[in-house]
Structure 1
Amino acid sequence: MNLARPTVLALLLVFVLVPTVSAHAATAIVKRGDGWQLQVDGKPYLAKGVTFSGSRSADYEKDCARLAALGVNTLRTWGTGTETRVLLDAAHKHGLKVLVGLWLRQGRPGAESDDSFDYLHDSKGMKKQFADTLAQVRAFKDHPAVLAWGIGNEVLLNSPDDASKEAYARFLEQVVREVKKLDPGHPVISVDAWTLGVPWWMKYTPSLDAYGLNVYGGGIHVLPGELQKAGVTKPWLITEFGAQGEWDAPKDANGIPREPDDTQKYDAIVDGWNKALAPYVQEGRCLGLFVFNYSASFDHTGLWLGMMSGTSTRPAWHAVREAYTGQKPATALPAITRITVGEVKREKSGTFAQVQVEAKDAEGTPLDVSFAYNFRGAATRHERDEVVRLQATPSPTPGAWLVRLPAVKGPIKLYTLGKDRAGNLAVATTSVALPSVP
C-alpha cells in the first residue's frame, strides 16, 4: 500500500513477461521450467529496484548515478508527466531501466489520492483514460530505458464494492490488450496491495503478463504462500516494499501508530530481499523488488519509509545497498537511543516541554539534534502528511532541549532528528498529548 502520491506523476516500474515474443523485443518474460525468467535483449534480468519520486528533474542524472552506485538497476514510477523523458534519458545514461507507471484513477478517495472515479457508469471518463494511456505508450515505447508498463496502482484496493472492482478489472483488460498491440516489445503488469487484486485479475484481466504486489513489513515473508494458495500461476514482482506501514502499526497510549525504529527499518529491507524473496527469485516466480521510496521530501511518509530526507540519507538508503550488493555501511549509522519528554507546560509565550535525548554517531560524537511534529488529527490530507520544524533551545540540563510545541489540540507525533557529519539522518518518534488551546 502506498501512502504517498508523488507531486508529479512521472515515475516508472520494472519488469516484463511475454510467453512468446519477437526476436526484436528488448524485454521479455520467458518460461523456464516451472518458473520464468525476465530478459532484456535476451539476457537474464533481475529487477533490483526502488520506486522513484526524485527531487527535481534537473537533478535526475545525479539521482540515477547515486542509485546505480547502490546496486539499483530499475526504477518504478506511478505515472507519466512532462519530466518523464528527462528521467528516461537519465536512467539510460546510467544503465538503469524503468518500470513506467501509467496512472488510472482511483475508485474512491483513499491512500493513493482524494480522487474518485466511477468505473460502473462514467463511460466518457473511461474513454479519456483509455486514450490518454495509449498516448503515453506511443510517446515512450521506443525509449531504450523502458523495461515494462505498470498500469494502475491500488485501484482495486480503493474501489468501493465488488461491482466497481469487476468493472475496473474489465476496463483494465481492455487497456492491457491495446497496450500490448501497440507495444508488443514490453510486458504489461498492474499493481495492487497485497493479494487484493489477484482474484479480479485472474478472472477479468487475463492478458496481464505478471502481477505487481505492494507489501510492507513482515507481510513479505507470508505473501508468497498466499499467492500459492490463491493458485497464481503467473510471475510477480514486489512493486513497493519497506518497513511496517502506519496502517498495520499498533497504536500507543495517545492513539498514534508506533513507527518502527531505524534498525527495524534497515533490517526489514535486507531480510525481505535476502531471506523472504530469495527462494522465489531462484525458482523464477519473483522477478524483482522495488523498495519504497527515493524522494527528497520532508514529510510523514518520507520520514517513515523514504531513503532520503532532503539531502540526508536515511537507513533505507544503506539497506538498499546491502540488499543489492552485500555492502554494509563503512561505519555504524548514527542512532537516537532514547528520548524522554518532560511535563508539558503552557506559558504566556507558548507551550513547552523539556526533551532529553541520547544520540551519537559511531565514534560517540553528539549529533546535530533538531525537532519537528506531525498532527495526525488535521483536517486535510496535506496537513496530515506535513511535518513542521519546531523551535528548540539547549537546556541547562546536559543532553536536553526546551522544545516549543505547536498550538494544536490533541496528540501530536514528535520527531527527534539527529544528523551526523557524513549526512546520515537518524529519527526517533514518540507522541505528546497537548493541552486544549485556550
Structure 2
Amino acid sequence: MQRIIYSVLILCLSFGGNAKASNHKIEPTQAIKVELKKTATGYELLRGGKPYYVKGAGGTSYYYKVAQYGGNSVRTWSTNDAKNILDSAQKNGLTVMMGLPVTPERHGFDYNDSVAVKKQFDRVKAEVLKYKDHPALLCWGIGNELNLSYKNPKVWDAVNDIAQMIHEVDPNHLATTVLAGINKKEIEHIKAKTPAIDLLSINTYGGLAELPAKVKAAGWAGAYLVTEWGPTGHWEGLQTDWNAPVEETSSEKAAVYKSRYHYGVERDKANCLGSYVFLWGQKQERTPTWYGLFTAKGQESEVIDAMQYLWTGTFPKNKAPHVYGFVLNKQQAQHSIYLQPNSSYEAEVMAMHPNGDTLNYRWELLPEATKVGEGGDHEDKPEALKLAYTDLGKGKIKIVSPAKTGAYRLFIYVQDGKNKVATANIPFFVK
C-alpha cells in the first residue's frame, strides 16, 4: 500500500528529540558502505563491515523514540525533506531507507512515454547525487508498490535503469524496489527485467506470517526486506453489511504484531534482512487510528509496547492501557449494528491498566469516511460530529444516535494521563 507520509507530520517532535540521543558524539561525515553478503545459509547485510539487521519503523516523526525503544532504522516513501530526515536519523543513531519518487501507473504515469520516463530518471538521479554521501543512508527504495493496479511491465525496465544508475554513481548503497505483496508473476518480471536490484522489498499486512512461504513459492531465492507490516489491512478483514471495514482494537493489534513478527520476519533470518513497522506516526486511512502507532496527539498505543519488546526483549515500565471489550447496544463491532435515529443507546468499553493507573475516557463520533484513497493515498479525516451522551461511569455512556441516516463510527480513547492510550471503534448505521 503506498503510504504517502507528509514530512510535516509532527516533524518538530522527531527533530526535537535529537539532543536526547546525540550526547555530543562525533558524527561521521561521509558515506558508510553498505553491502549484501552471501553466507552459507542465506544473506547478511553489512554496514561499515559489520552485520546489520534492520529493526525499522516507517514514518517521518518521533525518531528519538525509535532509538529509545530499540529500533535502528527508518523508512521514507520519498525524498521530501530528505536532508532534515537524514540529519535527524544520524543524530539519533539511526539509518534511513530513502524512498525515491517513482510514479506508479495508477497515478496516471505512462511507461510507454519515453520522454516522461527520461524526465523521471533524471529527476531521481539528481536526488541520488544530492544525498548519496550522507552517513545515515542505508539503501535506496525505488518507488513504492509499482505493481499495484498496473498493466504495463515496462515499469520494471525503468526500475532497472534507475538501479543501474545507482550502482554507477553510488557504490556505497544498495538498491531495492518495493512490492505490494508477492506473487509468482511479479517475481518472474522482477527476475527477468530488474537484475540490477540488490534485494527485494515487500509490503504485507494480514499475510505477514505466511510471507516466508510465499516468497519461496513465488520463486524468489534472494535477500529481502519487509518494508511495511502492521495490523490487518482494511481490505482484508471483517466488514459490516454496508461494507465498513472492522478495525482491530489497539490491544488486538499488539497481539497480532507480536505473533506476525515472529512468524513472518524472525523465522526467515536466512534471507529476510529485517523489517520496517508501519506506521511510526499517525495518519487518516479509513480511520484516524487504523495504522498509526501514535494518536494525532502523540499518545502511544500498546503496539509501541509490543515493538519495544520485539526490538529489545523487554517491555516498558509504564505500559499502555489494555482494552478487552467494547460494545454498543450490547453488540460488538463485527455484528453490523443498526440504530434508530435520535434514540438512546448504551456503549461500554472494558479496559484496565497493567500498572494500575487511573483511566480516563475520551469519546468521538465520526461519519464513515467516503472520500478514500487506494494503497495509502492521502485521505482527509471526516469532521467530528457533536456527540450527545451521558457519562454512566467506568467506561460506560448513554449516547443519543445521530438524526441523519447513514454510516458512523464511535471511537473510544482510553488514557492513563502518562501519554499512553488504548483505542477502539465501532461502526454503526442509522436508518
Q: Does 1:305 align with 2:291?
A: yes
- Alpha carbons 2:340, 2:401 under 8 Å: kept: no
| Structure 1 residues 157-172: aligned runs within 5 Å | 157-159=148-150, 161=151, 164=152, 166-172=153-159
Q: Does 1:211 align with 2:200?
A: yes
Distance 1:396 1:286 in 2: 49
Q: Aligned-pair distance for 1:305?
A: 1.7
- Alpha carbons 2:326, 2:349 under 8 Å: kept: yes
Q: Aligned-pair distance for 1:303?
A: 0.9
Moved more, 353-362 or 318-327: 353-362
CA-to-partner distance for each residue in 1:139-163, whole Å, 9 max, x for gaps? 000000000100010011131x2xx
Query: Which amino acid in structure 2 is aligned with residue 335 of structure 1?
Result: H
| Structure 1 residues 190-269: aligned runs within 5 Å | 190-196=177-183, 197-217=186-206, 219-269=207-257
Cα 1:401–1:299 shift into 2, 3 Å: farther
SS in 1 for 2:205: coil
What corresponds to 1:373 in structure 2? Answer: 366
- Alpha carbons 2:283, 2:291 under 8 Å: kept: no
Cα 1:392–1:402 shift into 2, 3 Å: farther
What corresponds to 2:77 in structure 1? Answer: 78
- Alpha carbons 1:377, 1:410 under 8 Å: kept: no
Q: Aligned-pair distance for 1:39?
A: 0.5
Distance 2:179 2:4 in 1: 14
What corresponds to 2:98 in structure 1? Answer: 100
Displaced runs of 4 or more, over 6 A: 379-383
SS in 2 for 1:200: helix
- Alpha carbons 1:254, 1:432 under 8 Å: kept: no
| Structure 1 residues 326-337: aligned runs within 5 Å | 326-337=313-324
What corresponds to 1:361 in structure 2? Answer: 353
Distance 1:118 1:263 in 2: 43
| Structure 1 residues 269-288: aligned runs within 5 Å | 269-281=257-269, 283=270, 285-288=271-274
SS in 2 for 1:305: coil
Q: Does 1:39 align with 2:46?
A: yes
- Which residue, 185, 188, 198 being the options, matches 2:172? 185
CA-to-partner distance for each residue in 1:381-433, whole Å, 9 max, x for gaps? 88965144343455164444354666764222322222112211211121111
SS in 2 for 1:206: coil
| Structure 1 residues 139-178: aligned runs within 5 Å | 139-159=130-150, 161=151, 164=152, 166-178=153-165
Cα 1:142–1:393 shift into 2, 3 Å: same
Residues paired across the two proteins, number: 396
Sequence identity (%): 26
Distance 1:279 1:269 in 2: 14
Q: Does 1:395 align with 2:382?
A: no
Query: Which amino acid in structure 2 is aligned with residue 428 of structure 1?
Result: A
Cα 1:176–1:423 shift into 2, 3 Å: same
Cα 1:396–1:173 shift into 2, 3 Å: closer
Q: Does 1:424 align with 2:416?
A: no
What corresponds to 2:5 in structure 1? Answer: 6
- Alpha carbons 1:173, 1:207 under 8 Å: kept: yes
What corresponds to 1:340 in structure 2? Answer: 327
Distance 2:344 2:135 in 1: 56
Alignment gaps of 5+ in structure 2: 12-30, 330-337
Distance 2:38 2:348 in 1: 58
- Alpha carbons 1:211, 1:235 under 8 Å: kept: yes
Q: Aligned-pair distance for 1:332?
A: 4.9
- Alpha carbons 1:76, 1:101 under 8 Å: kept: yes
- Alpha carbons 1:28, 1:186 under 8 Å: kept: yes
Distance 2:191 2:322 in 1: 46
Q: Aligned-pair distance for 1:301?
A: 5.5
Query: Which amino acid in structure 2 is aligned with residue 376 of structure 1?
Result: A
Query: Which amino acid in structure 1 is aligned with residue 298 of structure 2?
Result: T
Cα 1:87–1:384 shift into 2, 3 Å: closer
Query: Which amino acid in structure 2 is aligned with residue 291 of structure 1?
Result: V
Query: Which amino acid in structure 1 is aligned with residue 209 of structure 2?
Result: H
Q: Does 1:117 align with 2:75?
A: no
- Alpha carbons 2:369, 2:382 under 8 Å: kept: no
SS in 2 for 1:53: coil
Q: Aligned-pair distance for 1:280?
A: 1.4
SS in 1 for 2:5: coil
Distance 1:408 1:181 in 2: 61
| TM superposition score normalised by structure 1 | 0.83
Cα 1:376–1:352 shift into 2, 3 Å: farther
| TM superposition score normalised by structure 2 | 0.84
TM-align CA RMSD: 2.7
Distance 1:71 1:181 in 2: 34
Q: Does 1:410 align with 2:409?
A: no
Q: Aligned-pair distance for 1:237?
A: 0.5
CA-to-partner distance for each residue in 1:76-116, whole Å, 9 max, x for gaps? 001012x21011111111110000000211211xxxxxx22
Distance 2:160 2:75 in 1: 21
